[in-house]
Amino acid sequence: MTKDDQPGSTLPRRQLGRALRDAREGAGFTLERSAQLMEMGKTSLGRIEKGQNDKVRLRDIETLGELYGLAAERVEELKALAQQMATKSWWQASRHLLFPGYNTYLGLEAGASRLSFYQPLLVPGLVQTLSYAKSIERNYLPNETPDDIQRRVDLRIRRAAILTRHRSPVTAEFIIHESVFHTVVGSPAVMAAQARHVADMGTRPNVSVRILSLSASLPPEGVGVPPYIMLDFPADSRGFTAEPPIVYTEGAIGTMFFEESDDVKRYREIHEAIKSAALEEKPSRDLLRQVARRHEQ
């Protein structure tokens, strides 16, 4: 488990760091010995292996590759990853608007192949309507300028493109508590449109929406569980192994990433238990449309 506010821990950085660590261990070097031979601090090399550096010098990759006996082709692949790190993501211009740790999450979300959400409090950002998102931002950040609120909303809405893009849309599963749609955000009209939008998104082949109804008996595994997102990653097209899955959670005082395999396994068990108590997909859509009609009345 790591508390992470490192802006560099996006997918290419993590892949590069993991590949260098695996190469070091495969060559039989300790972190201390490698750092000594590289004439750099142990902490500096450790940050590279953890994907926490904004930049990694290409000559350092070449030297590490020579030290670990990597083939020239593999070194070039690692250098290509380092060059990806220098490319600014589309949300970087709005980094000052992001909560601590969220920049890291966006970098991981952009590279994920599957997202699994549990949300008992709010409509998840990826399926929020424009009006709902604006109402949320105004309620939570009343001192923000209208321009900053609009930028936050634009950022949130733009993220949703990963679900609707034509090429390789992300597979996403949403388990949302019914109470989320009874809690009025903005106005009943906003909530009606929001409920219908989530129902419509659930008809997409890559999106699953399951509602945990008010009458559901929550399994013991789901008691006291905060909102979370599980992220699964694909293998790289150049042969890098898939990044291990991660669980991202948000709390009142910060964000947390769970990366240890036992922690992720436990969250998967919790997710399956909550899902077993939720409605199937079509009944979930039917319920959302019923809630929308009630708001419209």
pLDDT digits (tens, 9 = 90+) for 250-283: 776 667 888 888 999 999 999 999 999 999 999 9
Highest-pLDDT range among 98-107, 123-132, 228-237: 123-132
In whole angstroms, give the CA distance from residue 176 to residue 155: 22
> Tens digits of per-residue pLDDT, 18-75?
788 888 888 888 889 888 888 888 888 988 888 877 788 888 889 998 888 888 888 8
Helix (H, G, I), strand (E, B) or coil at 198: helix
Higher pLDDT, 254 or 121: 121
**Band of residue 124 on the pLDDT scale cut at 50, 70, 90:** very high
> Tens digits of per-residue pLDDT, 282-292?
999 999 999 99
**Residue 233 DSSP symbol:** -
Q: Which domains does the chain have, with CATH numbers?
A: 11-85 (1.10.260.40), 92-296 (3.30.870)
Q: What is the pLDDT of residue 286?
A: 97
Provide the whole-model pTM. 0.73
**Residue 168 DSSP symbol:** S
Query: Helices 281-296 and 188-201 sit at what angle, rounded to 10 degrees?
Result: 160
Please name every residue paired with 47 in a beta bridge, in sequence order, or none if there are none: none
Structure tokens at 121: 């409090």
**Band of residue 219 on the pLDDT scale cut at 50, 70, 90:** low
> Tens digits of per-residue pLDDT, 149-208?
777 777 777 888 889 988 889 999 999 999 999 999 999 999 999 999 999 999 999 999
Rounded to 5°, the CA angle 256-262-265 comes to 90
Tokens 């902490």 label which residue? 43
155 in Cβ contact with 92 (< 8 Å): no
**Band of residue 105 on the pLDDT scale cut at 50, 70, 90:** confident
Residue 4 has pLDDT above 50, yes or no: no
94 in Cβ contact with 247 (< 8 Å): no
Q: What is the pLDDT of residue 239?
A: 56
